[in-house]
Amino acid sequence: MTIRFDGRVAIVTGAGNGLGRSHALGLAARGAKVVVNDLGGARDGNGGSLLAAEAVAKEIRDLGGEAIANGANVAVYEEVEAMFAQAKAAWGRVDILIANAGILRDASFSKMPLSDFWTVMDVHVKGTVNCLKAVWETMREQKYGRIILTSSASGIYGNFGQSNYGAAKAAMVGLMNVLHQEGQKVDIRVNVLAPTAATRMTEGLIPPNVQPLLAPETVTPGVLFLASEQAPSKVILGAGCGVFARSYIYETEGVYLPEEERTPEGVAAHFEAISDPSVQHVLEGATQQTMRFVTKASAAH
């Protein structure tokens, strides 16, 4: 099975460098027409230059592909709408969205200004939602869409000094879970990438001797699979160093407590059994948890 993107149109945000650049080049190499979006700012996200985006778009065109450079700030919906309109005007459709743009403002929570918390949330959460909103109706009308949201191990598992980034990246999983359900009937498949790579955002955070292993190109094959016609949906795919893994959210079997034990002390007494991982379930939606609990309580009665 060869994965190709001939006739498909992709928008990749934060594509002027690092992971986004690698994803854009990978899509174009397999036939996609690509909007290369990058704000062109410094590490803190401030700035505004098309130089980085245009360099990647030119690289694609020089290799015989089709690409447009775009400098929209994803946190500003009007700019995102204009980017989407640019893609539609040029190629008539949008099939793939890779929401990759991001910034870091690391500090322990006690030392972090609230402004830094909300700035990171604006770029990662508001910026992603803006892009989703811009493409969603067209993908529904087309009855086709492939969406990759960018999360992080910091959001899934935690990382000291990244409460803002972790909160934003955990939000990507919630977005995926709901949009997967809403897009199923019209073949919109929504997945989450949790990458580990040496990029401009991680300068100074990763030891130099390890950086060659963490090249962005070691992540992109997973993205191309998630963007393909054969893609699954509602998958959290970890990727880095050429290693690919899948993360799941499990729920234990649970313990029914009769009314006389339904106290804080009762929960404490049974907490080991409540936490028992030997029987775990992957739930497909919130109502499945409700029905599990109702079924378990009914059986106890």
Active-site residue, from 144, 165, 248, 250? 165
What is the token pair recorded at 112?
A: 């972090």
Q: Give the span between the Cα atoms of 106 and 79, in whole angstroms.
A: 27
Residues 6+ apart with CB under 8 A from 299: 256
With beta carbons less than 8 A apart as the criterion, state whether 142 and 93 touch: yes
With beta carbons less than 8 A apart as the criterion, state whether 80 and 134 touch: yes
Residue with tokens 């775990």: 280
With beta carbons less than 8 A apart as the criterion, state whether 175 and 128 touch: yes
Residue 78 CB burial class (10 angstroms; 0-12, 13-18, ≥19): exposed
Answer yes or no: 144 catalytic: no
Residues 6+ apart with CB under 8 A from 36: 12, 15, 16, 20, 21, 24, 53, 54, 56, 57, 60, 67, 68, 69, 70
With beta carbons less than 8 A apart as the criterion, state whether 80 and 59 touch: no
Query: CA of 9: how far to CAs of 88, 96, 241, in Å?
Result: 9, 6, 28
The b/e string for 249-272 (b: 16+ C-beta within 10 A; e otherwise) is: eeeeebbebeeeeeeeeeeeebee
Contacts 24+ apart (CB under 8 A), 55-59: 55/16, 56/15, 56/16, 56/21, 56/24, 56/25, 59/25
The residues annotated with a catalytic role in the active site are 165
